Amino acid sequence: MEDIYREIKRLRTDREKAVLATVITKLGSAPREKGAKLLVREDGSSIGSISGGCVEAETWQEAMQVMQTGESKVIGFHLTEKEAVESGLICGGRIEVYLEPLWMDYASEEGDIFEEITHILSREGRAFLATAIKREASKGQEKILIRQEGSTLGSLGDKLLDNSIITHTREMIGKEEPVLVTIKNSQNKECEIYLEPILPTPILFIFGGGHISLPLARIAKIVGFKVAVIDDRELYANKDRFPEADEIYPLEFENFFEQFELSPRAYIVIVTRGHLHDELVLEKALKTEAAYIGMIGSKRKVRYTYDNLMRKEITEEQLSRVHAPIGLDIKAETPEEIAISIMAEIIKIRRHYLARG
């Protein structure tokens, strides 16, 4: 999602037209969740995805029409399972997609909303973005950005709506799923407001730059993670070896933890070159707020490592956070298969976390 917001900022800076399609409602087993986005540029190219098959194709066509009219609109799709299969999808369901032109003026004396979003995300910050949904074609757009500390940028065009949605965000703190809420404005008219959390991209920290780390970094990028690689050998921790990595740290493992604090957006994979390094990294990782900690190794090696750490007063409860042996059991053997099993487990944990809010 961060890539989409960066591209929106670039397009607006260059005064290029684009249309953003966002899934605002979902019923049934539609393939993508609320909040999924497709950004369509004026030349027809796009980034992101909201579905697949005919849904995405029709959304693209509607986006190109919005490019001409400059009017936002809501489009709906209702596919039975039979219709879904005939259309090339794997499931049915009902979704609504909001299409909005992005060359409109979202700037104010305080700044531009989309520019501020990219600034917040670059600092690993959080915010909420509220958009007034126009069911009828409209060239006017109203948005308000509510920062983590409570300050705002923009407006929904009505003071009562602004205050109501700010209050609503307090109930959503800690949650990651967007909502479509109905709120009355100062004229006592019901208005639909799409409220979505703005969250930093999750980061996969790979400790060890060996053979498993290579496909792991590539797969992690494909599924939407930032990637950081840490190894105490510059021969293994460099951009030539890991061109996909966002960050590379040729540091002693212990020094890394002394210099950086890992947040709940962090996912840690421990695949160093030896037991002693794995144990050191695991001991440090357990003192972070990382959402996931996984360590490679046989059950015997894992038990040996746990016993050593428990002698250092690491508790069973702390060790229960660790996924070891790492990855889903798919009988993986090659580095690529092991990397897939690791990312599959991470995706499972992440989706559970998102569903739990």
Block mean pLDDT (10 aa), the chain, length 357: 90 93 82 84 93 83 95 86 50 83 69 91 90 84 91 93 93 83 94 94 96 97 94 96 95 94 94 94 96 95 96 94 95 96 95 60
Question: Tokens representing 234?
Answer: 């510059």
Signed CA dihedral, 116, 117, 119, 120: sign only? positive
Q: Which of 10, 9, 95, 8 is nearest to 51 (CA)?
A: 95
Give the model's pLDDT for residue 342: 98
For the chain, give the number of residues.
357
Distances (CA, A) of 164 to 144, 187, 215: 12, 14, 47
Q: Coil, helix or strand for 307? A: helix
Q: From CA 224, how far away is CA 202, in angstroms rounded?
A: 8
**Nearest CA-CA partner of 15 in 143, 86, 112, 87:** 112
CA distance 234 to 247: 13
Give SS3 for 76.
Answer: strand
**Strand order across the 127-132 sheet:** 152-155, 143-147, 127-132, 190-198, 179-184
pLDDT at position 61:
95
β-strand pairing of 107-108 with 18-27: unpaired
Q: What is d(CA 207, CA 248) in angstroms, rounded to the nearest whole number?
A: 10
Fold of 203-356: Rossmann fold (3.40.50)
CA 114, chain centre distance (Å): 17
pTM of the model: 0.77
What pLDDT is recorded for position 39? Answer: 96
Name the token pair of 319: 């060790």
Residue 28, pLDDT score:
67
Whether the CB-CB separation of 84 and 56 falls below 8 Å is answered with no
pLDDT at 207: 98
Distance CA 157, CA 132 (A): 9
Cα–Cα dist 41/47, whole Å: 9
Whether 146 and 165 have beta carbons less than 8 Å apart is answered as: yes
Where on the phi/psi map is residue 4: left (φ > 0), alpha (ψ -120 to 50), or beta?
A: alpha
Write down the pLDDT at residue 357: 46
Spatial distance between the Cα atoms of 35 and 4, rounded to a whole number of angstroms: 12
